[in-house]
Amino acid sequence: MKKDNKVILSLDKVGYRYEDAKKDEYVFKDISYEFKSGKLTAVKGKSGSGKTTLLSLISGLEKKHLGKIYFEDKDLSKINLDKYRNSEIGIVFQSYNLLPHLTASENIILSMDINGLKKINKKEKTLELLKSVGLTEEHKDRRVLKLSGGEQQRVAIARSLSYNPKMIIADEPTGNLDQETEQEILNIFKRLAHEENKCVVIVTHSKNVWEQCDEVYELQNNKKSNSKKIDKNKEINIWFLFLWYTIKYKRKSVKKWTNN
């Protein structure tokens, strides 16, 4: 499939504050990002920097934010969000969020049913999806409980692909996995972006992950950087005060000296 690198989702000066937070306590503010098809984009940031919050805004779960979010030039606040979530974006979580007592294929078929997919052979499609993420017919009928963490994440990725969304967003998808499995999962996301032209966004604090992405944004905790800014201004003011006194004092002493 040809990569077209079109902007799929963009954030224009987005800011967010939890309702119970203080008046000026924003998790982040003035964020303008672009996520493109055919690209693997990372949003990195320390724990608590607002990565999960940002994903809930992108998926339309949190609506009261500053700025605008556009999906293919359509304002997210003006479109049908259920339809958007059921057809345009696929979400993958750190803890997989599968139903543990169902089999791998049942989890995927359930998601297809919830999303109202009809005109396809669901069993056939499920096997195709599972194979595309490196699982076999043998995994298909195994309960999720009996799959390894890496295998569960593969099922979760296959589930997110079941309605062929343009965009996949993943919240720390390798956070519970060892390094080797992290790489395998990352390779699936790379393939989805580079070969299937998906717009893939991975939120992560893993250096190994963001270093391999095509584009990287960094979320910094605005609360901290704002307070640093204030401190810096204070420092500058004190420094100017000091300079002013020094010049004044020196002038006086120079005058005194020349008068003598």
Ligand X SMILES: Nc1ncnc2c1ncn2[C@@H]1O[C@H](COP(=O)(O)OP(=O)(O)O)[C@@H](O)[C@H]1O
- Residues lying near ligand X in the complex (CB under 6 A): 18, 20, 27, 45, 47-53
Residue found by looking up tokens 């299937």 in the block: 196
Identify which of residues 47 and 121 has a Cβ nearer to ligand X in the complex. Answer: 47
Identify which of residues 111 and 174 has a Cβ nearer to ligand X in the complex. Answer: 174
- Stretches 32-40, 47-55, 104-112, 119-127: which one binds Mg ion (CB under 5 A)? 47-55
The answer for residues whose C-beta is within 8 angstroms of residue 148's C-beta and 6 or more apart is 181
Residue 154 interacts, among Mg ion, ligand X, none and using kind-specific CB cut-offs from 5 to 8 Å, with none
From the list 52, 56, 87, 115, which residue makes contact with Mg ion (rule: CB under 5 A)?
A: 52
| Residues that contact Mg ion, how many (by CB under 5 A) | 2
CB atoms within 10 A of CB 194: 16
Task: From 211, 199, 137, 132, select the one nearest 170 (Cα to Cα).
Answer: 199
152 in helix, strand or coil? helix
**Residue 176 near Mg ion by CB under 5 A:** no
Q: Which two tokens stand for residue 251?
A: 């002038």
CB atoms within 10 A of CB 22: 9
Positions that interact with Mg ion (CB under 5 A): 51-52
